[in-house]
Structure 1
Amino acid sequence: MRGQSSVRHVDELRTPRAQVLVALTAVSVGVIYGYDLSNIAGALRYITDEFHLSTHQQATLTVAVVIGQIAGALSGGLLANAIGRKKSLLLATAAYAVFAVLGALSASLPMLVVARLLLGVALGLSVVVVPVFVAESAPSRVRGSLLVADQLMTVVGSIAGYLVAYLLAGSQSWRWMLGLAAVPALLVMLALLSVPDTARWYLLKGRVDQARQALTRVEPEADVEQKLAEIAHAFSAEGGGVLAGMRRRSCRRAMAFVLGLGFFAHITGVNAVIYYGPTLFAEMGFQSNSALLGLPALAQAAALVAVVVSLLLVDRVGRRPVLLAGIATMIAANGVLIGAFASGSGFGAFPVLAFVGVLLFVAGFSFGFGGLLSVYAGESLPSRLRSMGSAALFTSELVATAIVAAVFLPMLNVLGGTATFAVFGLLALAAYAFAARFAPETQHTQLESIRHLWENRGARPKARSGTRAQACGVATGEPAEEIDEGSVV
């Protein structure tokens, strides 16, 4: 009996290869998102020269894609529930390829702005759906790592975008910089064709046979019928639809958290560093193309190291420690940047100190917010509301991104670097306070059980005979489970 138990335990710890491959295929969409973030930063210098753009027009072009992403994120939750996670991602990648080429062929600024706006819709849809797809496909013990891998792919794409911009800088071929984005989009689309949709979405639509087939394909060693029964029971416990779920206090609590988390993640300024990297480094005194395009790529390399470390730790030490450590690093980075700009360009070590500040800032974001946004987007809400929760988080994030993209250049020109990064430092402090107070610990928790955390205000429920938790989507009329004080966050 002991031998059989031991074998069974080993089986439980083994992660099916197909499950990981499905999740990694989904997170590869992040390459497209990262490439777009950085290639527009490299291309913007040459677009400005060709179309004679003012500072306001540069900001308009940059913000256009963010406005499109907001529209895509707002519709992403509904679309993912209506047509499925897989079809939504296929639509997003196909649309991205089309509009990337359209942007590269633009003959005027208005045409380019429209192309970037529509490309943003595709990006917004993808960032909402990927965390939901991965969370519903991955086993709980490695779910955090696979969700953080979404940020890893984003950083890889960002580095690729800067490198392409650097290689094409001599010819000033901004059209190739933008148009080449269609290549990874098409490759990802082809990869997605071979993976199934999630069993949870099939069950949500009452398609039990397809749910069974999807589970059998990605979890061949699992007890498929038992798994289906657990998911179906969770759906039954949630009860009602989206509006019924959102009327419950625990669901509103979860939704308020993802809205706040998304907003604080990007109001702290990371996209200013990415979108306007070359402009920021020029402000620090760097002049050559190799510096203005190579240094942002180097900053993204630091982000790559940080997100790899985050990926390795998130399922070992938990979500909260990783998130808080990342925000703390951003606070320290703002302090370095404030000190560098306050010392003035006459200070000999100013460029080096400022660059170190940027490295810390980008690495801290990637370690904390960068990876954990996808984790909490995929985990925080129950099945019927999961895509809506992801849409809420990323819409909030994109609103903050649009604000920063619109005001960063005017702030830098009017206030200077010292005051600009002082503002971002204060916002990072507020973000730390928010995360410390409200972020739950979802490490090693089954998706169907996370809903209990919100009823207990972030504490893991401790079973007590004769009671059940009133959780997100559950209205039992019975008292909540006893709170395990050792896990209150």
Structure 2
Amino acid sequence: MSTTHGRPLRRPGTAVGLAAVLLGLTYGYDGTAMAGAQILVTDRFHLSPLEQGTLYAGPVVGLMAGTILAGRLSNLAGRRGALVIASVVCSLTTVVSALSVNPPMLVGTRAVLGMTMGVLIVIAPVFIAESVRTTIRGRTAVLYQCATAGGCAATYFISYLLAGGGHWRTMLVVPALCAAAATLALLRLPETPSWHLMAGRADRAAEAARLLGTPAPAAAPEDPPAAAQAKGRFLELFTPKYRRLTLFVIALGFLVQITGISAIGYFSPRIFQRMGYTGDFSLLMLPGLIQLISAVAALVCAVAIDRVSRRAALLTGTSLMTAGHLLLVGVFAAFLPPAAGLLGLAVFAIGFNAGFGALIWVFAAEGFPDRLRGPGASAMLLANLSANLLIAQFFLSTLSALGGTATFCLLLAVNVVAWFYVYLQVPDTGGRTLGEVQAYWEAGRRWSASPVVPAPQRAPDGDRS
């Protein structure tokens, strides 16, 4: 089997998996690179808490722009093409960002990096899904998610190694290496068959499928003209038929971030510092440990999520998140020792990955029909990023102005609201077909039939292991 350059590619699934890992590492590391370098950058440029927040808000604004740009870029350049462009721009801009001589230059370059991350977060899962066989699609997607969490953890570990010499510029430049490696891995792969077919190149789609070892995609029945299809599509989300579901997924998207996961991802060193921890090991290695726990929790949840009730998973996860914030309030109020704060952050991370982190996108994917699935996910993502922007810009200012006890009491209250929202509003869609879930929302949140639960299958005699 050969690549687009005629060179043999004996294991295309492994090649796609490698690209997925490198893209995940790039996204995870670049998304948290400033967290590891923040203390040194703050000292270098004498930043106020509000200015420190802007270092994170800039990339989030870029991320929002990148997610809007991603679809059009993918249609024009292809899935692989869009990822190659994003990886190259990420690599070059990361180097420029590490050479920043003032805060505006640093924020501006980080915003451009946010745009590349927006393209990655939208297109990478699509590229993976369209490039591998059905039998390995799930594990490849999980590999990408775990690599993202691993990239977040690597940020803190590498920052710890570099913190002693004050090498914050080196901390920021590391993602350029990941992005460059991802570019090389992507260039070894062909464009996805589905994109070629969408572009009207059936022969090239068949060739790409042969190179990737996947079935040749079948041409769908002729669709209406693209302009007619697209017109009013997003506005259709707010028609009476879909308004209830749209508001539901927007609320979920907002709650995912406003409950505090971004604060922990971005500002863990500052949170540990406020709890009384000192030294590079405590301020950088302990946040890295939290990210490793998140990665393991994400892996466990990805394996187990189809075996448990989704509603129960969300309620349990939100309960753990609330318990984590309660421990943090106890630490900041001096009722509990600082060690309880480390436990609180770990419990929160586990709870997030057991609930919101594992299931948030499932509801948008299940509830909307095919033609509205993309706009529905975009509506959820916009709400998600809006909350992310609020946390990024104002969390440190709030922590400085109100103190740790009041700040985490606010987050605790938000988590309690999130728990009740899940309890009152979230349906259990496990065991339901896509048609049944869509009919539930279209019928005003009423199930038309009981879920179909497959009976456990016994292994044939002689085939037990």
Please classify the TM superposition score into its range, dividing by the shorter chain length: 0.7 to 0.9
Once the two structures are superposed, what CA deviation does each residue of 1:55-109 show, in whole Å capped at 9, x if it has no partner?
A: 2221122211111111112222333334332222112111111111011111111
- One-letter amino acid of the counterpart of residue 292, structure 1: L
Give, as a single letter, the amino acid of the residue that structure 2 aligns with 1:300.
Q
The letter for the 2-side match of 1:284 is M
1:62-461 to 2 correspondences below 5 Å: 62-137=56-131, 146-220=140-214, 222=215, 224=216, 228=218, 232-233=220-221, 240-246=228-234, 247=236, 249=239, 255-317=246-308, 320-342=311-333, 344=334, 347=335, 349-373=336-360, 386-435=373-422, 437-438=425-426, 441=429, 450=434, 453-457=437-441
Structure 2-normalised TM-score?
Answer: 0.82
The Cα shift of 1:254 comes to: 5.6
User: What is the CA-CA distance between 1:115 and the residue it aligns to?
Assistant: 0.8
CA distance in 2, matches of 1:442, 1:414: 44
Alignment correspondent of 2:3: none
Moved more, 379-388 or 414-423: 379-388
Show structure 1 runs of 5+ residues with no match: 1-15, 460-479
| AA aligned opposite 1:287 | T
CA shift for structure 1 position 451 = 6.3
RMSD between aligned alpha carbons? 3.4
> Please, what TM-score do these two structures have when normalized by structure 1?
0.79
Alpha-carbon distance, 1:161 to partner: 0.8
Distance between the aligned counterparts of 1:365 and 1:287, measured in 2?
A: 27
State the secondary structure of the residue aligned to 2:163. helix
Q: Which amino acid in the other structure matches residue 274 of structure 2? A: E
CA distance in 1, matches of 2:362, 2:197: 22
Describe the shift of the 1:425–1:279 C-alpha distance in structure 2 as closer, same or farther (beyond 3 A): same
The alpha carbon displacement at 1:294 in A equals: 1.1
- Answer yes or no: is the 8 Å Cα contact 2:233–2:375 preserved in 1: no
- Structure 1 stretch 181-190 or stretch 71-80: which is displaced more? 71-80
Distance 1:322 1:203 in 2: 38
Distance 2:65 2:382 in 1: 8
Contact in 2 for aligned 1:313/1:322 (Cα 8 Å): no
| Cα distance in structure 2, aligned partners of 1:205 and 1:443 | 36
Distance 1:395 1:245, change over 3 A: closer
Which residue type is aligned with residue 57 of structure 2?
A: V
Higher mean C-alpha displacement, 115-124 vs 19-28? 19-28
Q: Conserved in 1, the CA contact under 8 Å of 2:29 and 2:175? A: yes
Where does the alignment leave 5 or more consecutive residues of structure 2 unmatched?
Answer: 1-9, 454-465
Amino acid in structure 2 at the alignment position of 1:190: L
Amino acid at match of 1:283: R
Q: Quick one: structure 1 residues 127 and 257, their matched pair in 2 at CA, closer, same or farther if it must change by over 3 Å?
A: farther
Instruction: Count residues in correspondence.
Output: 438
User: CA 1:378–1:89 in structure 2 vs 1: closer, same or farther (change >3 Å)?
Assistant: farther
Q: Secondary structure of 1:483's partner?
A: coil
Q: Which whole-Å CA distance do the structure 2 matches of 1:453 and 1:74 have between them?
A: 27
Q: Within 2, Cα distance between the matches of 1:295 and 1:361?
A: 14
Change (3 A) 1:98 1:317: same
Report deviation, 1:150.
3.4
Q: Secondary structure at the match of 1:228?
A: coil
